[in-house]
Structure 1
Amino acid sequence: MIRRFGSDLASFKTLTFKPGLNILLADKSEGANDRQSRNGAGKTSFIELVHFLFGADARKESIFRSDALAAWTFDVVVDIAGETVSAARSGAKPSRIFLNGSVETWPLAPQLDQRAGLLELSNENWKADLGHFWFGLPISAGDEAERFQPSFRSLFSYFARRQLSGGFQQPMQHSSMQQTWDQQVSICYLLGLDWSIPGHFQELRAQEKVAQELRKAARSGDLGRFFGKAADLRTRLAIAETRAERMRGQLDTFEVVPEYKTLEREANDITREIDALNVENVVDGELLQQLRASLTDEDAPDLGDVTKLYAEAGVVLPDMVRRRFDEVERFHRSIIENRRAHLNAEITSAEARVIERDQRIAEHDRRRRQIMGVLRSGGALEHYTSLREEAGRVEAEVEGLRQRLETAERIESTKAELDIQRANLTKALRDDIHERGDVIREAILAFEALSESLYEKAGSLTVSDTGGGPQFEVHIDGQRSKGITNMQIFCFDLMLTEISLRQGRGPGFLVHDSHLFDGVDERQVAKALQLGAERAEAAGFQYIVTMNSDALPREGFQRGFDVQARVMDTKLTDATDTGGLFGLRFE
């Protein structure tokens, strides 16, 4: 229970609490005019103080970091793990909590601040210790914690709802910013149901959201062009794998020839020389044709034709002329023989050159075949390196296609798999609700009894399994009224407090802001205050309520219940600047 709130701010009104029902009133002082409102007396600021001292984030807009309050320290005396402990915090150093009491054996023990002479603890560790003692939360490092698990701050907020956070809109939600999964996890945890199931539902929702975005992207845009369809990628992968396998085979049989370049140059030189010799052979071949043709055409002139010509003319040549013709004929025959001898010599020489070139060509060709055999059996190091690089590129392409195919197949099959997971989770939730039927029955009956104490017709609490996780609903006739909605919250909070205490969880107190009773009939307010007092006494928890004095019912209580005895001695007022909780005015 909470024993006291205090501060080193002299004008702060120290608040001392008792077991059971404690009513903090905002009164109207003498001399107050009509313009002065008790809505600024500090009732809501008191709720903020409760959260501030029990680990709430102190952002820049927090009243405790305002110029008027930042320099001052506020403290609470509260029972934790059977010990009375004092905890202090200031807006100037919101990350540090100063403790006094038997806290040395805590899971996250504070360290002694030599200068202040106080035990000091970080706000994060303070929340972790409170979560451990009040709610049985495990002490774990941030990296080890599950993403969607109950947190101290969320659980605590069901025991001190904040109007500024939208805490009085519906029973299951302590803040307008609270997500559905956090509501499900927190309520399941406090009731004693399997809270991990709604956590898994949220994991599933996150996966479904990603899968939906991926499917949408895979159908259009750059991502669609990159991934494509699984069938197309499967074909491309098969072709790429075959090519990669072929290149691996080439690399396995490749033999590097150290003198590859030298041999390659020699083979090229031999080829050029063979080509040159073949050209020369062609030239000599044409020459042989010409020489053989000339040899055939070389014959001595026939002088007999001249003699016959003269005889037919009736001219008889003298002996001297005939002898002269004979000499000319012998001369010509001598010349022709010499010419033939020369042509035969040229032919023989040309044929010899061709034969010699053919021999050289044959020798060069043998050497070239030898070199080419060596080159075909291996290759140059540069060629091997290029081949290996190409093989690496192809292997990378294969791996890329394999990953893209895997992603495309996963995208295409994700929806079916997630549907199966959702069905399995829904079954697990249904089984859990069935197995823990006694816990749910206890909560249902508790809510019914509480609502029946306020209204003629009892309300109802239903717990159902859905495809989105556990669903909690409360109903009281006339729930469209703001007052009825607030009474739903009242009954739900009392039920949750009682059930969680039986589970060994909870801070041991419940705090309700005056906003909870806005729009509620005075008779129901009286019943609610008496019901809260009786339930707090029976279950052993502390019930703290803030109210305006004129909203405090004067009748409607059962005989023997003295509401004034539950009103705290310290009262707030808005009549003067010093009448509020902090005893000063600030924006």
Structure 2
Amino acid sequence: MQLKKLYSNKSSFREIKFEPGMNIILARKENEADKNEKKTYNGVGKSLIVALIHFCLGSSNNKEFELKIPNWEFCLDFEINGENYTSKRNTSKQDSILLNDEELSLTKFREILGKKIFSLHSNLNFLNFRPLICRFIRPRKRSYYSFDIFEEQENPMTRLINNAYLLGLDINYILKKYGLKKELDHVNQLKRNIKKDDIFAGFFSQNKDVDLSIFDLKDKIKKLELDLKNFKVAENYQEIRNEADKLSSQLKVMDNQVIVLNNSIDNINKSLKINPDIPKEKIINLYNETKRIFPEETLRKLNEIEKFHESLLTNRKMRLLREKKILIENIKQKDEARKRSGGQLSNLLNYLETHGALEELNLLNSKLNELKNSLDKLTTYKEFIEQYKKKEREIKIKLEQENLETTEYIKEVKAIIEKDVEIFRSFSKRFYEDKPGGIEIINDEGENQNRFIINASIQDDASDGINEVKIFCFDLTLLQAKNNHNVNFLFHDSRLFSDIEPRQRSTIFKIANELSNSGIQYIASVNQDQIEPLKQYYSDEEFKKIFTDNIRLELTDESPEKKLLGVQVNMNYDEDKSFVQGE
């Protein structure tokens, strides 16, 4: 595939005719000596050419084009294997595109070119025309940051597949590992989801043993089922419960009353043991001592008082014994009443013990269902975890097997890899003879989605300008290796040359010119100040042959008419993150 012409339905547009070999699109200031910072090479349309070529090659819709240049139609003539094609696309009707005047959907257009240019078919998953063509015409400024990143929104998996495909590697090895890793991630995610369940979360947070918990739940369920089997519902359960509570209260009152009665009897017994009488002998002794003092008549009265006192004591004892008898009788009555009430309470409690309220039955059933639900979940969890662990082991075994097979595969395709490396080195040595470079393809055995690690390097490639040289060498390697494509052009924007020193820049164009003589089409947009310093590295004839004779379009800031569109339009098309994409 090579480009032939970019043009438009608007007469103001600066048509570009591409030729086989070298093609220079030159941007210059009208007055190169003018130091006015507002006068720059930006805005004349160099990078817009790249955007328009992608637009005509089926990129996603560009909102800036629709808004700023409505009803503009852009056309791109190109050839594939000697057959000519023309694509046309209108900025106001971007959902369709014309290919040789046949209106196609963008999807169909990409499918056709994918087959013709990259031999794509339905069995090649993850491979699509748009990402692949971006390897030969990097779409935007950020495409020049790294050798292997052509579009920043391209995910690492797709990037690896596209790069590996154009390096001649079998992408099925990538897809197999990708599928296994996705499967492993899915299993791990299911395990994490299970652990988020409220029931399981409690087990994990408390480090409980699931097997022991299952046994414990089974025991509880068995006991509860037996309780429910023997459970009898009492319709008047609450009335009986109330009556039992009343009897229990009455028994407590009677117990207290009996205690009071027994305390009274104890007090009577203590009183009966107290003897306030004075013995007669003591009185006689007292009499012998006092008869000298008191008259005989007084002593006779003392004897009468003694008899009276004995009478009082006798009466007091009889009264206490009568009171004791009454108390004992009361205790007996209380005991009989307690016995009757106790019997009634016992019967009620026995009834309540073998019967229950309907609410209690519902509560027990609810508890049983809760236990069964927990048992089911834990049993299911245990089965799932066992299945997941088994699946995890199987996947890891397959991943290890794939690692072994990939190692053998890399040995089998050693010739293809060495060809890629040799092409890259043949270019990099032109820049840095003392700094070895090459492409390294490593079997990534890590537990990730990457099958290969593809690294292009030049020693000290972090230095200024070397990264750009590495990009140039890698792009040329993909082009010249001719693995799985028939693209025969390479387009580099002036962004590639900005940070490269003049000597290296001169080498780039020498290499490009040499390749163009072998039939490769090299297109470069450059600023005047990027090529002027190169004259010291060329003879006048060489400079004329490489640059002057190959200028296909010259863009200046002199006036809008000298810019690409021929009219003044301000667009941020490079910030439109969708326009270079497409499946």
Q: Whose relative contact order is higher, 1 or 2, with alpha carbons under 8 Å and at least 6 apart?
A: 2
Matches within 5 A, 1:145-160: 146=125, 149-160=126-137
Equivalent position of 2:442 in the other structure: 464
Q: Which residue of the other structure, out of 421, 424, 427, is the alignment partner of 2:401?
A: 424
1:190 equivalent to 2:169? Answer no
Aligned-pair CA distance for 1:211: 3.5
| C-alpha contact (below 8 Å) 2:23/2:552 kept by paired residues | no
**Cα offset, 1:409, TM superposition:** 2.0
Question: Which amino acid is the alignment partner of residue 554 of structure 2?
Answer: K
* Shift in alpha-carbon separation, 1:428–1:482, aligned structure 2, 3 A: farther
Q: CA deviation at 1:26?
A: 0.6
Q: 1:520 is matched with which residue?
A: 500
SS of equivalent to 1:491: helix
In structure 1, how many angstroms separate the alpha carbons of the residues matched to 2:202 and 2:517? 67
Secondary structure of the residue aligned to 1:585 is coil
Matched, 1:455 2:458: no
User: Where do residues 87-102 of structure 1 align in structure 2 (5 Å cutoff)?
Assistant: 87-100=87-100
Query: CA shift at 1:576, angstroms?
Result: 1.9
The answer for the alignment partner of 1:137 in structure 2 is 120
Residue type at the aligned position of 2:458: I
Deviation per residue, 1:405-456 (Å, 9 max, x gap)? 5432233344433332322222222122111100000011111110011222
Distance in 2, Cα, partners of 1:194 & 1:31: 51
CA positional deviation for 1:54: 0.8
Distance 1:77 1:234 in 2: 75
**Within 1, Cα distance between the matches of 2:380 and 2:486?**
50
TM-score (norm 1): 0.63
Bigger shift: residues 399-408 or 447-456: 399-408
Relative distance call for 1:398 and 1:212 in structure 2 (3 A) is closer
Deviation string 1:206-249 (CA, Å, 9 cap, x unpaired) is 33433343333433443835998998489969x99xx9xxxxxx
- Name the SS for the 1:461 alignment partner: strand
Q: Report matched runs for 1:300-319 at 5 Å.
A: none
Question: Is residue 2:528 matched to residue 1:549?
Answer: yes
Q: CA offsets per residue over residues 16-54 of structure 1, 9 Å max, x none?
A: 011112111112225995222111111111111121111
Distance 2:419 2:375 in 1: 61
Please tell me whether the aligned partners of residues 17 and 568 of structure 1 are also in contact (alpha carbons under 8 angstroms): no
Aligned match of 2:48 in 42, 45, 62? 45
Q: Which of 444, 455, 466 matches 1:473?
A: 455
State how many pairs are aligned. Answer: 409
Partner of 2:6: 5
Of 99, 102, 123, the match for 2:106: 123
Cα deviation for residue 565 of structure 1 reads 4.5
> Which residues of structure 1 form unaligned runs of 5+?
101-117, 244-394
Aligned partner of 2:487 among 507, 522, 525: 507
Matches within 5 A, 1:292-303: none
TM-score after normalising by structure 2:
0.63
1 CA distance for matches of 2:462 and 2:114?
36
The code of the aligned residue for 2:61 comes to: A
Identify the residue that residue 586 of structure 1 maps to in structure 2: 569
Aligned to 1:105: none
* Correspondence 1:444 to 2:424: no
Q: Equivalents in 2 of 1:79, 1:510: separation in Å?
A: 14
Q: How many angstroms does 1:518 deviate by?
A: 1.6
- AA partner of residue 583 (structure 1): G
Residue deviations 1:76-105 (CA, integer Å, cap 9, x gap): 0000243111110112111111122xxxxx
Question: Which structure 2 residues correspond to residues 229-308 of structure 1 after superposition, within 5 A?
Answer: 232=210
Q: 1:224 to 1:94 in 2, by over 3 A?
A: farther
Unpaired runs of at least 5, structure 2? 222-371, 571-583
- TM-aligned CA deviation for residue 480 of structure 1: 1.3
SS at match of 1:160: coil
- Specify whether residues 399 and 135 from structure 1 end up closer, same or farther in structure 2 by C-alpha distance, changes over 3 A only: farther
Match of 1:572 among 552, 555, 565: 555
Distance 1:18 1:178 in 2: 31
Question: Deviation string for 1:314-371 (max 9, x for gaps)?
Answer: xxxxxxxxxxxxxxxxxxxxxxxxxxxxxxxxxxxxxxxxxxxxxxxxxxxxxxxxxx
Whether contact under 8 Å (1:89, 1:97) holds in the other structure is: yes
RMSD of aligned Cα (Å): 3.4
Q: Which residue of structure 1 lines up, in the alignment, with residue 384 of structure 2?
A: 407
CA change 1:214–1:20 in 2 (3 A) is same
Q: Hey, what's the Cα distance between the residues in 2 that align with 1:505 and 1:520? A: 29
Change (3 A) 1:435 1:11: same
The 10-residue stretch of structure 1 (567-576 or 505-514) with the greater mean CA deviation from structure 2: 567-576
Asked if the contact 2:24/2:553 (under 8 Å) is kept, the reply is no
The one-letter amino acid paired with 2:161 is V
Q: Secondary structure at the match of 1:575?
A: coil
